[in-house]
Structure 1
Amino acid sequence: MADSADGLNEPSDGPNEPCDGPSEPADGLNEPTDEPSEPADGMNEPSDEPNESTDGRSEPVDGPNEPTNGPNEPNDGLNQPSDGPNEPVDGLNEPSDGLSEPTDGPNKSISWKVTYLCLLQKDRLEEVTRNYHSLLGEWHKLQEELQADQVPKDYVLVHKNDLAQLATETSQLKLNLPMVINSSLSTATTRVDSLQEEIDRLRQRNAVSEADIGQWKTRLEAAVAECQKEKESNLQLRCEMQELTEQLSQQSDYSCSLGSSCCTLLWRVSRSQDTVQTLLSGTKIDDFLNLVTSTVESYLSAYKDDWPQDQSDESGFILALVGIITNVAASAYGRDFLISRDSGRNLVDTFTNFLADAPLKKSARLKNLLLMALYNLSINQRALKYICSKPGIMGLLVWHLQEETDCDNRLNTLRVVHSLVSDEHNNVILHELAEALPEHFLQQLTADKNQDVQDLALDLIMDLRQTQHEQ
């Protein structure tokens, strides 16, 4: 057991010196007790690996930590024991009988404590050895870098004068930087204050604008709702107007058909002079004449640009009305009645205006009836003077005679002209006719296919020549 203890106190290169014997415990250890304490498994069963000397610990390289020769100087390395009392190293790997099989007495506690201290010294020795090899590796690495570049890559060589100049410039910058920063800072502060004020103004404007936008949105919504209501109302009114238009159109068609039928019957009845006297003796004759005047004017203004066909109910209604007036003017009583009433004279004015405004080469039947009515009225002396007093009447008739191509229109126009110039005391009409109607045109009419036109043209030529001979 004493031999085993000597093996655990193997001297090392570190500061711990071996103790004189296993019987002297180290300071600070507690006195042994009667009851032995069981050592830990790691202490009772050490493995063989900690005592195997590695290449790093057995082959130290040259350096500042090279051990010197002493009483325990190893020959080849740190872990090679020398000849003497330190030879048995296997005591660490092979536990003695005292550790595994404790005996009664104080030697049991002392042996366990000595073993524990030896293990601590061994751990410290291994840690020192590792640190030594780590430092040694760093030293070799630094030597290699110095041999390769002489200066590490992370460092720069600067001349002393350049460093002094750099220090001077740095101090100058330290002095000038506060002045520059203070001036720039004051300018920036002033600008920031102005910008902040501008931002505040803009925020106020934005708030006012948002309030206005809210009001306008409210107004817009109200206007849109009102507009929608107006649209619905307009749509409803359009529908009602369309219905009323259809009803009015139907009523107009019905009225035109009824008027055409009644007036056509009245037109046929008015061919008899006795019937004419009966009609004119009624109380509604002035209303009837005013109705004829307004109807002819409305018909002309409505269909001046788009003249309807003669087969329509409206055309039949207008033809029947004018035909009734023509038949009334064919009787002596009717001519005198028409020219003696204001409604009758207004009707004569409407007929002459119709001849001037109606489109040419259209409504030949209606124009024939109007010319026949004027011719019948011209037989009456009062009516003749009234027609001749109309300004431009002769020029209108001559223009109508020259422009119209319908044979009946030309014949009836010549009849009216011949009737107007038949008054021997009215020389003004003859002069107007001589100025408006060229003689060569009358010569052309003498060769017309219609015999009545030829006769009337010859009579006019003779009247004109007689007027010139008298002058």
Structure 2
Amino acid sequence: MTEPEIISDNNSEYVLRGESDFLDDIITTLSSVSSSLHGLFADFATSPAFVCLDSDLTRLQRETESLCKNTEFLISSQLHGAHQAMADLHGELVALSCKYENLQNGWKSQQENMGQMQAELFTVRSLVQQQSQFCASLGAVMGNLIWKASRLPPVIDMLLSGNKVADFLAIVHGSLISFMETYDSSMPSQYANESQFILSMCGIVTNIAATSAGRQFLVTNSNGRELLEQFNRILPVIPVPSGNCLKRLLLMALYNTSINHDGLKFLQQQADLLSALAHDLQTDTTYEMKLMQLRLLQSLTCDIPNGTVLQDILKYVPLDMIQATTKCSQPEMKNVVQEILNNIKKAQHVYETKCCHSDLWQARTKCSRGCGGDSSFGGTGMNSKAASCQESSNARFGPGCSNISYMKHPA
């Protein structure tokens, strides 16, 4: 590590002497500049040009003073306007501040009210939920009790003797729509209160349709017809397998209704029902559901009233779809399918024969008129069509139909 250098006294004296000489030179120069300036001012004082310059300076001074006054006037006027504007803005600011404080106080008050309302809403929701659970439980209990009682025909007769069955059917209609909108993809367990309620309602309708008077009431009352149409519409959209219990009840109700002559005519005209049967025959995999659908289709084809209905049936449920179900190994299903095919074949034979005889009648009539003679042909030569499927208290009979007892569904 190097040691610091030490400056000797001789060097310090030399530096101080140089600074003293530099200061003396500066003083001499300033004295010379001062003398020169005094001389210059003396020359200007005696020169004529300085006198002219003095007058110009005086005029410039007056103009400067006038300009200063104008500037002060303009500035003062502008300042006055600005001050007034600032005063107005300050007043508006004060008013806005008051409004803001009022709004803030109102907001705080509203927040307090909102807190109270939310607490009340929570309480009300809890009460509504409890009430809903109670109503669902009550509806399930009462519905199951009536469902069990409706298995007895005297109970159905007693219900029909009153004036509330139509209102009941309207309630079932609305409840079924609401239930399907809520549980469109997967239904709750069949033991849940909601399921028990809707199943009991549909079960009561099924048991009403199990009696002769009940079937007649369903197809003649407007609420009953609307409910049957709703059954037809929702059959394809009921989720499986969670909705099999509900679908079973609806199929039974429709089958029971088809035993009635007017009910059969009504259901044969329902394109939604035929489309639903075609859809379910292709999608359902359980034997029980397929058998019920085929029994309903067998009932619909038992007494086909005209060619239009036959065409509609074959349009929505083609023969190849029906014949495909004959591959089933269950003899009961095979028998039902064979009865359906026989019914359709008989209907085709009847209406094709009618069509041919109608054409022959028109031809003979035309020929008779052309020859000028009277025709002795008085009809088609066909025997009158067999009587429609007649309804009995326990079974259904008709052309191509075996004895099929109507169904009552136990609760």
Same fold (TM over 0.5): yes
CA deviation profile, 1:11-69 (whole Å, cap 9, x unmatched):
xxxxxxxxxxxxxxxxxxxxxxxxxxxxxxxxxxxxxxxxxxxxxxxxxxxxxxxxxxx
User: How many Å separate the matches in 1 of 2:208 and 2:259?
Assistant: 13
Choose the corresponding residue for 2:31, options 154, 168, 183: 154
- Contact 1:289 1:343 (C-alpha < 8 Å) held by counterparts: yes
Alignment of 1:275-314 (within 5 A): 275-304=155-184, 307-314=187-194
Is 1:246 equivalent to 2:123 in the alignment? no
Change in CA separation of 1:221 and 1:307 when aligned onto 2, cut-off 3 Å = farther
Task: Give deviations 1:402-451, integer Å, cap 9, x for gaps.
Answer: 33444433333333233222223133232122222344333322213554
In the TM superposition, 1:65-464 aligns within 5 A as: 151=28, 153-156=30-33, 158=36, 174-179=54-59, 190=70, 192-304=72-184, 307-355=187-235, 358-359=238-239, 362-464=242-344
| Native 8 Å contact 1:267 1:320 kept in 2 | yes
Question: Do the aligned residues in 1 keep the contact of 2:233 with 2:276 (CA within 8 Å)?
Answer: no
Unmatched 5+ residue regions in structure 2? 1-20, 353-411
Kept in 2, the 8 Å contact 1:388–1:429? The answer is: yes
Letter in 1 for 2:173: T
Deviation at 1:212, TM superposition (A): 2.2
CA positional deviation for 1:365: 1.0
Determine the C-alpha separation between the residues in 2 that align with 1:150 and 1:303. 111
Greater share of residues in helix: 2
Is contact 1:418-1:456 (8 Å) kept?
yes
Counterparts of 2:39 and 2:236, CA distance in 1: 122
| Matching residue of 1:114 | none
Shift, 1:312, TM fit? 1.1
2-structure distance, mates of 1:355, 1:181: 109
Q: For the Cα contact (< 8 Å) 2:274–2:317, is it kept in 1?
A: no
CA deviations 1:119-173 (Å, max 9, x no partner) are: xxxxxxxxxxxxxxxxxxxxxxxxx99x999956433264999778877686665
Which string of whole-angstrom CA distances, capped at 9 and with x for unpartnered residues, describes residues 334-359 of structure 1? Answer: 21222232332232233223335544
Looking at structure 2, the residues matched to 315 and 390 of structure 1 have their Cα atoms a distance apart, in angstroms, of 27
Classify 1:394/1:173 alpha carbon distance in 2 versus 1 (closer, same or farther; 3 Å): farther
- 1:358-397 Cα offsets, whole Å, 9 max, x none, are 4465412111111110111111111122223345432233
Change over 3 Å in CA distance of 1:436–1:197 after alignment to 2: farther
- 2:31 is aligned with what amino acid? D
In structure 1, how many angstroms separate the alpha carbons of the residues matched to 2:186 and 2:90? Answer: 59
CA spacing shift, 1:161–1:218, aligned 2, 3 Å: closer
8 Å contact from structure 2 (residues 186, 242) kept in 1: no
Structure 1 position 232, deviation (Å): 2.2
Q: Deviations over 1:308-342 (max 9, x none)?
A: 33331111111111111111111222212222323
CA separation of 1:164/1:357 partners in 2, compared to 1, >3 Å: closer, same or farther? farther
Q: TM-score, normalised by structure 2?
A: 0.67
Flag the structure with more relative contact order, 1 or 2, with Cα contacts below 8 A and sequence separation at least 6.
2
Pairwise CA RMSD: 3.5
SS of 1:369's equivalent in the other structure is: helix
- 1:85 is matched with none
Q: Secondary structure at the match of 1:310?
A: coil
- Partner of 1:154, secondary structure, is helix
Question: What amino acid maps onto 1:447 in structure 2?
Answer: K
Alignment size in residue pairs: 327
TM-score, reference length from structure 1: 0.60
Counterpart CA distance in 2 for 1:415 and 1:165 is 141
Checking the alignment, whether the CA contact within 8 Å between 1:420 and 1:429 is kept in structure 2 is: no
